[in-house]
Amino acid sequence: MTCEMNDIRRAANRLALTILSAMALLTSGCSEVEGPLPLRPVDSRHESEGRVSQTYGEVRAPKGDRTLTLVAKSVLGAPTDGTPEESGFTRSVINPDDAGAAVIWEAGDSIKVQFRRDGIIYYGILKTNQGGSSTAFFTTEDDILGGEDYIFFSPGYEVKSESSFFSKVRIFGLEIPQSQTAVPDGVAAGTSKVYASSASFEDGAILSFTNLLSLLRFRLSGDIASHVREVTLRTTSTVAGMVQICDYEGSPSFSEPGKFSNTNQYSSITLTGDFEAGKEYHIALWPKELYGFEIKFSDGEGNFTTVRTQKRITFERSVVTDIGTIDLGDSFRGFGAISTDPIKYYSATEGTKPVSIAVIPEGFTEEELPLYESLAKMALDVLFDTEPYKTYKDRFNAWILKVASNESGAGITNVKDVDNYFGSKWGANSYSNMRATDNIVFNFVSSNCPDICSGPVSSRKTIDEVPIIMIINDTRYAGKTWSFSSGKGYAMCPWTDNGGVLTWGYRSTVPKSESDPNGGYRSRTEDDIAQVKWSPGDWRNTVVHEFGHAFGRLGDEYWTKISAITSSIKSTINEVQNTWTVPFGKNISTSYSTTPWDEFLQKRDVLIQKDSLYGRIGKYQGGWDYIFGCWRSEKVSGMMDHRLYFNAWSRYLIVQRIMTLSGDGDDFNYEFWLERDVTADPLRDGNNYGPGGTTRSGDPDRSEKYQYIFPLGQEGFLPPDAPPGLVNNEPAPPRI
């Protein structure tokens, strides 16, 4: 959105939590898959009988003239290819000595079935009076015969819908409890979610059910184990709350709910109960890969111990992952003294002097600083895996600075004040007024960034030379960068939706003409999307985009205003491009005939001979939040839709700034840049680059590293419109 230099971008996650040596109790085999998942099917409460439910037009099946029977049983064996017939166990009781138990159904369990018949989606309820067996007979008086594409859940799903894009896709929302009850050597009722599917149904059908969730298993030892009352798993990824099951021809897959739906998603799960040493306990969570996590053990009276791991662990559907026995010792330790010393996460090995970056926390309490440290590392890893930062990362010092806030989160303007360190706040439904207290931000970094305040005076940086990334402990969708004429600036980036998956798209209204500001507009077409593709990612894409403002000094390349750029905005663009000490926004032109990237246009044919992807360079109307009267150099770039790709001219501007700040500006020119430039857009070019490919990247795995799978046909989240304003007098910088 606007760069305030102001922007908002959203934003799966990697976690790299530091292991505390005294508390590093997770065993070396913690990532091993021990065996099939022992979960419990439980009774669920479904809608009362009636014709049409309140959501999605689902219709209760009418009563039939006989009682129908379903035989529900399990399939023995570990997961293989993930199909329902081979996806492992469901069972109610976990017996450590039982290596091959199947589903143990309980009397009163119910199954909800949804199916199509005569173009209508019906549902019915089946129940059983049996218990204690791996096979149970479920009966119903609902007429569920003569349909197709049957899907069975127990407990029943909370949300029902059918894809309007593909007839064979249906999407179901299931709630993974954030609060779960500890059951020694078992799993509490209400935690299990079991599933089966069939193309058709006949009376007496036999179906095999599989669990949809995963389990984390652990045991406790030590004198204080019996005093534990709460165990909290905390990650930087969504592990509980509403999740989507996307069923395509009977094959289920997980994804996050669409961002237009009002659903709760959580990055933590709390298990409560009276814990005992030596017993097995389980936390049910969304099957996914976690890049480390932390577990907090507390007695309910304020005493606690926390363990952390940096291990990358994959939690598979219908599988229990055992992390071993955790020795809590003889006393609760709390966190002890958390170090606030700066962390030098990247170190420069090239250049006359380092290019410095400072990452700072906002709204993280002392207890939450380890979480911030992990988020900071995740953000920097993605940034330096994005060109041109990847090619030039050896010229950077990246500092992770620490300071605790008295209260978690960020404020809501005119609604809620939060006692955080830098005073950040913005609107509940708008980020247009998003800001922190500038002087506190700059004074803190000036006083705590070693490249500014330490070392030989001759090599010290100034605050004007150290761009700042502020990671905010808030899950709202937001992001904004404040840039100043001297070169200083800070990018405000919350870790939106607890690190959940986000999607951006090409603008829905586009100019009819690339050259004529009076040529009118048209609606986006499927061909437009085919050319640029959807842009999936998460809050880290926001960081990369915002850093494009703070460091690259780039303006936004999208538009929300279906109008021509005004004369006052043109004047502002001219000012920041031509009169600021460190120019801003030179990736945008207010003239079609003369652009800042004219040299590239003049050499376009030569560039294309070197690499065909330089053929994307041109003049495309739209940018700086206006659809008409300003131009960008390529059809799409990260300054438009947050993809991890900068267009060629933006890459040139970023490298120019890198070389200037590293003291080697005299070595920089067009030929220097071209020799090292990497042209690929991971979204559009995939693995078709590297040695033998169409572009010159040396990392063929780059394109798949941070991509996320969405249900077919879903557009996902598009950033809300945010009208930009202008403040023309410093110290308040112009809002662009």
Across 161-170, 234-243, 394-403, least confident range: 161-170
Q: How confident is the model at residue 189 (pLDDT cuts 50, 70, 90)?
A: low
- Contacts (Cβ under 8 Å, ≥6 apart) of 243: 173, 174, 176, 254, 255, 256, 257, 265, 286
Contact between 244 and 254 under an 8 Å Cβ cutoff? The reply is yes
Domain-ending residue, one of 265, 295, 327: 327
Q: Is the peptide bond before 354 cis (omega within 30 degrees of 0)?
A: no
Phi, psi of 651 (to 5 degrees): -60, -40
User: pLDDT band for position 153 (50/70/90)?
Assistant: confident
pLDDT at 468 over 70: yes
Assess whether 149 and 263 both reside in one domain: yes
| Pair (659, 579) in one structural domain | yes
422 and 440 in contact (C-beta within 8 Å)?
yes
Question: Which residues lie below 8 Å from residue 338, measured CB to CB, with a gap of 6+?
Answer: 366, 367, 369, 370, 402, 404
Tokens of 451: 């490249």
Residues 103, 481: Cα–Cα separation, whole Å: 54
Q: How far apart are CA 324 and CA 316, in angstroms?
A: 17
Q: Is the peptide bond before 724 cis (omega within 30 degrees of 0)?
A: no
CB atoms within 10 A of CB 134: 17
The answer to whether the CB of 370 falls within 8 A of the CB of 17 is yes
Residue among 548, 564, 565 at smallest CA distance from 556: 548
C-alpha distances in Å from residue 302, one per residue of 39, 295, 296: 32, 15, 12
Residues 489 and 518 in one domain: yes
Which amino acid type is present at position 343? Answer: I
Stronger pLDDT, 716 or 111, i.e. the higher one: 111
Residues 488, 354 share a domain: yes
- The answer to whether 487 and 468 have CB atoms below 8 angstroms apart is no
Q: Same domain for 234 and 376?
A: no
To 5 degrees, how large is the angle CA 537–CA 538–CA 541?
A: 75
| DSSP 8-state code for residue 422 | S
The answer to whether residues 39 and 215 touch, using CB atoms and an 8 Å cutoff, is yes
**Is the entire prediction scored with pTM above 0.75?**
no
Residue 493 has pLDDT above 80, yes or no: yes
61 — pLDDT class (breaks 50, 70, 90): confident
Q: Are residue 38 and residue 86 in the same domain, yes or no?
A: yes
Give the residue-averaged pLDDT of 200-204: 92
Helix H segments across 361-501?
369-383, 438-448, 450-453
Same domain, yes or no: 377 and 510:
yes
Cα 186 from Cα 263, distance rounded (Å): 29
Q: Rounded distance, CA 394 to CA 349, Å?
A: 5
**Domain of residue 415, residue span:** 343-704
Burial 478-504, CB ≥16 within 10 A → b, else e: bbbbbbbbebbbbbbbbbbbbbbbbbb
Region 197-205 average pLDDT: 90
pLDDT of residue 337: 66
**Region label for 496, one of left (φ > 0), alpha (ψ between -120 and 50) or beta (otherwise):** beta
d(CA 371, CA 415): 27
Structure tokens given for 186: 């078992």
Could you identify the residue written with the tokens 């060629």?
648
The answer as to whether 37 is a domain residue is yes
User: How many distinct structural domains can be found in the chain?
Assistant: 2
Tens digits of per-residue pLDDT, 20-38?
A: 222 222 222 222 222 222 2
**Is cis: bond before 388, omega within 30 of 0?**
yes
Name the average pLDDT for the chain.
78
The answer to the question of residue 320 being in a domain is: yes
pLDDT at 34: 24
Please check whether residues 607 and 518 belong to one and the same domain: yes
Tell me the CA distances in angstroms from 715 to 165, 260, 536, 655, one per residue in order.
10, 10, 10, 33
In the predicted structure, residue 292 carries a pLDDT above the cut 90: no
Mean pLDDT check: name the lowest of 44-58, 68-82, 133-147, 635-649: 44-58
Tokens coding 89: 């166990």
Query: Among residues 131, 103, 124, 152, which one has the least CA distance to residue 53?
Result: 124
Beta bridge partners, 510, equal 522
In this prediction, residue 335 carries a pLDDT of 65
Q: Tell me how far the alpha carbon of residue 106 is from its chain's centroid.
A: 38
With a cut of 50, say whether residue 134 has pLDDT above it: yes
131 domain residue, yes or no: yes
The confidence score (pLDDT) of residue 73 equals 67
CB 425 within 8 A of CB 410: yes
495: pLDDT strictly greater than 60: yes
Above 90 in pLDDT, residue 484? yes
β-pair type (411-412, 425-426): parallel
39: three-class secondary structure by DSSP: coil
DSSP H helices in 384-465: 438-448, 450-453
How confident is the model at residue 320, as a pLDDT? Answer: 78
Q: Who wins on pLDDT, 664 or 167?
A: 664
Over residues 713-729, the mean pLDDT reads 28
According to the per-residue pLDDT averaged within each range, which of 215-224, 308-317, 590-599 is highest? 590-599
Q: Is residue 717 part of a domain?
A: no
Same domain flag for 313 and 369:
no
Tokens linked to 598: 């004219």
Task: Report pLDDT digits (tens) over 158-186.
Answer: 544 544 334 556 677 778 889 999 989 87
Q: DSSP class of residue 460?
A: -
Distance (Å, whole) CA 36 – CA 103? 11
271 in any annotated domain: yes
CB 662 within 8 A of CB 396: no
Least confident of 134-143, 332-341, 353-362, 508-517: 332-341
- Residues 332-355 have a mean pLDDT of 87
Can you give the CATH number for the domain in which 631 is found? 3.40.390.10
Q: Kindly state whether residues 248 and 373 are assigned to the same domain.
A: no
Q: Phi and psi for 436 in degrees, rounded to 5?
A: -110, -175
- Name the H helices within 473-612: 526-532, 539-550, 567-578, 598-602, 604-610
- Of the candidate ranges 41-55, 250-264, 439-453, 596-610, the one whose mean pLDDT is the lowest: 41-55
In a domain, 16, yes or no: no
Q: What percent of the chain has pLDDT over 70?
A: 76
Instruction: Report which residue type is found at 504.
Output: W
From CA 255, how far away is CA 280, in angstroms rounded?
A: 29
Q: Provide mean pLDDT across the span 708-724.
A: 26
Residues 240 and 361 in one domain: no
pLDDT for 256: 63
Q: Which of 81-95, 220-234, 440-454, 586-600 has the lowest mean pLDDT?
A: 81-95
User: 40 in a domain, yes or no?
Assistant: yes
Position 190 scores a pLDDT of 63
User: How far is it, in rounded angstroms, from Cα 258 to Cα 730?
Assistant: 40
Assess whether 58 and 185 both reside in one domain. yes
